[in-house]
Amino acid sequence: MPTTASNTESATLIERMGLKPGHATIVGLQWGDEGKGKVVDMLAAEFDAVARYNGGANAGHTVVVGDEKYALHLMPSGILYPGKVNVLGNGVVIDPEQLVKEITGLRERGLTIDPATLFISSRAHVVLPYHKTQDRLQEAAYTMPNALDQVVEGIGTTGRGIGPCYADKALRSTAVRMADLADLESLRHQLHRIVPIKNATLKALCEYTGETHEPINADALLDWIKPLADILVPHLADTAGLLHKVGDEDKRILFEGANATLLDIDHGTYPYVTSSNCSSLGAHTGTGVPGHAVGNVIGIVKAYQTRVGGGPMPTELNDATGDRIREVGREFGTTTGRPRRCGWIDLVALRYTARVSGATAVCVMLLDVLADLPELKLCTGYRVDGKAYDGYPATSEELAKVEPVYETLPGFAGPVDGCKSIAELPESARAYLDFIADYLGVPVVLASVGPKRDQSAVR
């Protein structure tokens, strides 16, 4: 059983962070992997409910509690505290096998995961094995050489079937929702309608790419789902109604975003994005709780920049400093193990995402990773053809053209990992945080200086 922070300690944390009363959304402001899980985990002690609103098993967060390390992909981070209401909202796409794996793994480690603590939206969509096949074949098809392009960069998806599942959600006729798992006979009929369409699609993709796959059998798929449905169906709920009730009782909800604002399907660096609204805007469509109910948006930011997968990254460092950040920050994907591209913090992108997500506070994570660098650069502007660029590019082609303009600040000249408050940080580290806060016009309320809960310098 993990040790948990006491309520008093976390009440102090909320006060120290200067949050307004009421609900809060936690959202990544870069390309993901900012360390949202740690902040959700720390704040969950003070909130009554934690609701995940988007994405699926493409996300991954590692939470360290004492000497125990938890790698979660689907489970809301509040699950590590006993007695909280944990919600997987309608905007989440659920891989039933992965979710059951996480439930079983956490139960084996002594946590109580029951229908009174984990609520899954009946409206959430189901990721099925063929979505992963389709994800892989679609990437292969997209990157096939053709008559006009020599080299085409793929999206670089996590291969977790996210895009095809959200595409089916939009198509409707080929979608399966969690509610469908509650009536297996009806699901059998549904799968017999969907599977021939999927087989035709996958066959066409295979013919184009030269890849192979075994045709799906609807009855075998149903047999595979049945034991997973037995475990998950007791957790199904009208989660929007549940969250409204939580709010009506003056209890507090923490909305947990997966992925991050630059990966948002509408506002991110399209097409190198994921398939959901992962900005804070998705918290509302993804749970059924309206925007005016949420007064706090906590933007999570790494002290530097990382990106996994394809797409331009203006501040990327393909040099020894980039390698150093990757090594010290252990910048390898939780979900796929891929090395992350590393670079200096991009304040132009952050100003854009802080506005889109409406950040009212910012937490700067992994500050300790920069501790031994002699000087630090922060991108404060873009230039194209020698001229200052205004705003944030809408296309990846345009983003690929920008040149970053940097401000240089001195390094921290010493370790920061023992600091418990921002005031305790070396002056140079405080100057770095002040620079970020001033540029964004949003206060920095916490700097993370190590993976553990207590390695946090709070305001």
Alpha-carbon span 457 to 365, nearest angstrom? 10
Structure tokens at 328: 């010290």
Which is catalytic among the residues 23, 41, 61, 73? 61
Q: 305-307 and 341-343 as β-strands: parallel, antiparallel, unpaired?
A: antiparallel
Our CA dihedral for 395, 397, 309, 268, rounded to 10 degrees, sits at -10
Nearer to ligand IMP, 42 or 59 (CB): 59
The residue among 237 and 345 lying less far from ligand IMP, judged by its C-beta, is 345
Q: Tokens standing for 445? A: 């309320």
Q: How far apart are CA 162 and CA 116, in angstroms?
A: 28
Residues that bind ligand IMP (CB under 6 A): 31-33, 58-59, 155-158, 160, 162-163, 259, 263, 272, 274-275, 308-309
State which residue, 55 or 247, has the beta carbon closest to ligand IMP: 55
Residue closer to ligand IMP (CB basis): 31 or 130:
31
Shortest Cβ 137–ligand IMP spacing (Å)? 14
CB of 168 to ligand IMP, least distance (A): 14
The single residue of 23, 33, 95, 346 carrying the catalytic annotation is 33
Which tokens sit at 163?
């895009």
Nearer to ligand IMP, 121 or 157 (CB): 157
> Is 61 a catalytic site residue?
yes
Q: What tokens does 83 get?
A: 């007695």
Q: How far is the CB of 166 from ligand IMP (least distance, A)?
A: 9
Scan for tokens 């949003």, then name that residue: 442
The Cα–Cα gap between 371 and 414 comes to: 6
Minimum Å distance from CB 139 to ligand IMP?
9
Nearer to ligand IMP, 187 or 364 (CB): 364
Structure tokens at 371: 């501790």
Q: Is the dihedral of CA 247, 252, 257, 262 positive or negative?
A: positive
362, 436 Cβ separation under 8 angstroms:
yes
CB of 156 to ligand IMP, least distance (A): 4
Closest CB 286 distance from ligand IMP, rounded Å = 15
Closest CB 259 distance from ligand IMP, rounded Å: 4
**Of 165, 365, 364, the residue nearest 265 (C-alpha):** 165
CA gap 176, 184 in Å, rounded: 12
Closest CA to 414 of 400, 402, 425, 430: 425
What amino acid occupies position 431?
A: A
Q: Nearest distance from residue 248's CB to ligand IMP, in Å?
A: 32
Q: Which residues of 384-422 are buried (b: 16+ CB within 10 A; e: fewer)?
A: eeeeebeebbeebeebebbebbeeebebbeeebeebeeb
CA distance linking residue 327 with residue 325, whole number of Å: 5
Among this protein's residues, is 33 annotated catalytic?
Answer: yes
One-letter amino acid of 259: N
Output 75 or 229, the one with its CB closest to ligand IMP. 75
Q: In one letter, which amino acid is 169?
A: K
- Whichever of 32 and 288 has its CB closer to ligand IMP, that residue is 32
Residue nearest to ligand IMP (CB): 309
Of 225 and 308, the one with the shorter C-beta distance to ligand IMP is 308
Count the residues in the chain. Answer: 459
CA 408 to chain centroid, in Å, comes to 30
SS3 78: helix
> 31 near 303, Cβ under 8 Å?
no
Please tell me the distance from the alpha carbon of residue 105 to that of residue 116, in angstroms, as a whole number: 18
Q: How far is the CB of 385 from ligand IMP (least distance, A)?
A: 28
Catalytic site residues? Answer: 33, 61
